[in-house]
A and B are shown apart, each in its own frame.
Chain A
């Protein structure tokens, strides 16, 4: 079974540009999460989808971030326009967890550098 995949693995953009990150969850997983780790800090939650619906977007930093999951399969996270403080590693995770144990499986991450 394929794990969570993310694209691209690295992205370097200039301040003010737009970047779109993609996440493909494990097949059949209804829950999809986005997290971010900035340098020196812990991994922090951004957003949770259940199928195509946003269940919790309390971690989204501001309206420059837009996440979508059309059709309830893969998800995209767009940053527009990017700022220097958006640099970090963006992780996607998925789970299919009726028992509510929050067992989430992570992708390798996308390292975003805004210059």
Chain B
């Protein structure tokens, strides 16, 4: 049973478009991390959200944590080819193991 469902699994868009992807769970997490991974490298931490309803912005990326702390979304404005990669969400509970989703493969065409 997968605890964190990410959708869509694959997304291919044109440069300049906006997109939103999702991370959903039936479990409550004390924090949720979004990572970006490129081929041959490890996941790189983008953001951590901890408070229900919290919104964080990182340049053109907007992250939101659901009110019940079970789900999260990532919105990218005016996507660029450099945004291409695998986006992973991971739920954490107080300095312990992370539970990962399978990831969303994003391709931004020039």
Contacts and interface: CB of A to CB of B under 8 A. Distances in A.
Contacts of B30: 100-102
28 contacts: A31-B95, A41-B102, A42-B2, A42-B4, A42-B100, A42-B103, A43-B98, A44-B100, A45-B99, A48-B96, A48-B97, A55-B96, A56-B97, A59-B97, A93-B98, A100-B30, A100-B31, A101-B30, A102-B31, A102-B98, A103-B33, A103-B45, A106-B35, A106-B42, A106-B44, A108-B40, A109-B41, A109-B42
B109 interface: no
Interface size class of A (residues with CB under 8 A): 20 to 34
Contacts of B100: 35, 42-44
A104 interface: yes
Interface residues of B, number: 28
B42 A102 contact: no
Interface stretch (B10-18, B57-65, B67-75, B86-94): B86-94
Contacts of B94: 100, 102
A112 interface: no
A33 B99 CA distance: 12
